């Protein structure tokens, strides 16, 4: 007999939280039905009821990741968000970085998801689209900064936005591997140095 | 009876090549004893003789990755390498990027290795050390470029080197997910734009 709907939703939430904890500790490489079941104190059989395969579990993990990201307060949605193009570019770049422990966990899971996503064309396309959207958001504010004279207008705004996005993504990876060399204050200083370079160029 | 030494080496090479092909197609998420055995047309039992666990297989995969990287011609080792600090910085940055199909495969596997590496402190430390070495190499040439007046001396060379490394690592990731938006010529143009920004800053 299938569980009642309310039970099903609650159980799914439990599963999502267990998936999250397994990913944070062991990455996608360690994400197995058995590990999630153990994390929940449940049987593998129960897990199989929700996720018939490892692939279904990975797809769910990426949904959970999306929900976590959507649930975060974003600079653009914040009423105290900085006005102006360049300040907004800065806020968007800082928003990506692992400046808090929670952001470090989210980022660790995002970076970990790249392996599985690159192996599955559908997941790769979704990741590409996410990064395209975030590039577009940066582009809007780079363009605004150029129009306001905060950034020189000489360079294509698309290239500036892509370069800025690449820079912070790489910084995420380095900060995860060498947190002692890239503590939050150095990450912020590197972003500010990068932006100063854009202004002066 | 264990195999003769020559056999053992040859078989190990076969295994390494099979590991490489599995990683290129399916990533670390798809790296299983069964998949490698199937790729070799061998039994899982034979594989277990070389790698008693998935973790041993992952560790070997990272060694193979290192060997592949070491076997590549490097700008610094090339007698036709560009002289001068800034030209060398440019060569080192371009060397990281997936500008050829082979480099795209290597990079896909490197990026894929981050998930497993972040889950294992020993592997994470090795990765961190690799990136530290490559930052140091960049730093030497950034410093030379500053001394030669090719780059302004105002900004700490460590920060310039770290920023440049982060930028190309992020570009690798974007080029893997969206190769049509980041074809080789755009990757090179973005590097040149980035360097022009450093020069002008």
Regarding predicted confidence, which is higher, B10 or A148?
A148
How confident is the model over A105-126, as a mean pLDDT?
A: 91
CB contact under 8 A, A30 and B119: yes
How confident is the model over A160-170, as a mean pLDDT?
A: 98
Through-space distance between the first and last CA atoms of chain B, rounded to whole angstroms = 67
Domains assigned to chain A = 5-68 (1.10.10.60), 73-200 (1.10.357.10)
Does any CB of chain A come closer than 8 Å to the CB of residue B200?
A: yes
Q: In the prediction, which pLDDT does A77 show?
A: 47
Q: In the prediction, which pLDDT does B14 show?
A: 86
Which among B117, B178, B194 has the least Cβ separation from residue A163?
B194
Contact A135, A160 (CB under 8 A): no
Q: In the prediction, which pLDDT does B164 show?
A: 98
Q: Which two tokens stand for residue B125?
A: 């430390």
Least confident residue range of A173-182, B13-22, B166-175: B13-22
CB contact under 8 A, B166 and A170: yes
Share of chain B above pLDDT 70, in %: 92
Q: What is the pLDDT of residues A34-75, one digit of tens each?
A: 999 999 999 998 888 888 887 788 888 888 887 877 777 766
pLDDT over threshold 90, residue A29: no
Q: What is the dihedral of CA B158, B161, B162, B165, to 10 degrees?
A: -170
Q: In the prediction, which pLDDT does A138 show?
A: 96
Q: In this predicted complex, what is the ipTM?
A: 0.89
Does any CB of chain B come closer than 8 Å to the CB of residue A170?
A: yes
pLDDT tier, B77 (very low <50, low <70, confident <90, very high otherwise): very low
Does any CB of chain B come closer than 8 Å to the CB of residue A153?
A: no
In order of A4, A91, A177, B27, B173, the CA distances from B126 in angstroms are 49, 32, 9, 19, 20
Does any CB of chain B come closer than 8 Å to the CB of residue A171?
A: yes
How confident is the model over B174-196, as a mean pLDDT?
A: 97
For residues B112 and B28, give the distance between their C-alpha atoms in angstroms, rounded to a whole number.
Answer: 6
Q: In the prediction, which pLDDT does A5 show?
A: 63
Regarding predicted confidence, which is higher, A1 or B117?
B117
B-chain residues within 8 Å CB-CB of A167?
163, 166-167, 170
For residues B173 and B52, give the distance between their C-alpha atoms in angstroms, rounded to a whole number.
Answer: 32
Does any CB of chain A come closer than 8 Å to the CB of residue B34?
A: no
For residues A28 and A22, give the distance between their C-alpha atoms in angstroms, rounded to a whole number.
Answer: 8
pLDDT over threshold 70, residue A81: no
How confident is the model over B123-148, as a mean pLDDT?
A: 94
For residues B44 and B35, give the distance between their C-alpha atoms in angstroms, rounded to a whole number.
Answer: 9
């Amino acid at each position: 007999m299938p569980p009642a709907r309310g039970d099903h939703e609650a159980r799914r939430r439990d599963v999502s939280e267990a998936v999250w904890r397994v990913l944070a500790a062991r990455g996608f490489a360690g994400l197995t039905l058995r590990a999630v079941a153990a994390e929940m104190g449940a049987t593998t059989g129960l897990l199989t009821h929700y996720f018939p395969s490892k692939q279904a579990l990975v797809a769910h993990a990426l949904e959970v990741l999306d929900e976590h990201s959507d649930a975060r307060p974003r600079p653009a949605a914040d009423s105290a968000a900085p006005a102006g193009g360049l300040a907004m570019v800065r806020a968007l770049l800082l928003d990506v970085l692992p400046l808090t422990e929670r952001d470090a966990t989210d980022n660790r899971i995002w970076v970990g998801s790249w392996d599985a996503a690159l192996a599955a064309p559908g997941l790769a396309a979704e990741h590409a689209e996410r990064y395209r959207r975030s590039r577009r958001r940066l582009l809007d504010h780079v363009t605004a900064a150029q129009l306001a004279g905060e950034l020189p207008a000489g360079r294509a705004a698309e290239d500036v936005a892509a370069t800025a996005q690449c820079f912070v993504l790489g910084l995420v990876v380095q900060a995860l591997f060498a947190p002692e060399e890239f503590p939050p204050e150095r990450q912020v200083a590197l972003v500010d140095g990068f932006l100063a370079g854009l202004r002066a160029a």
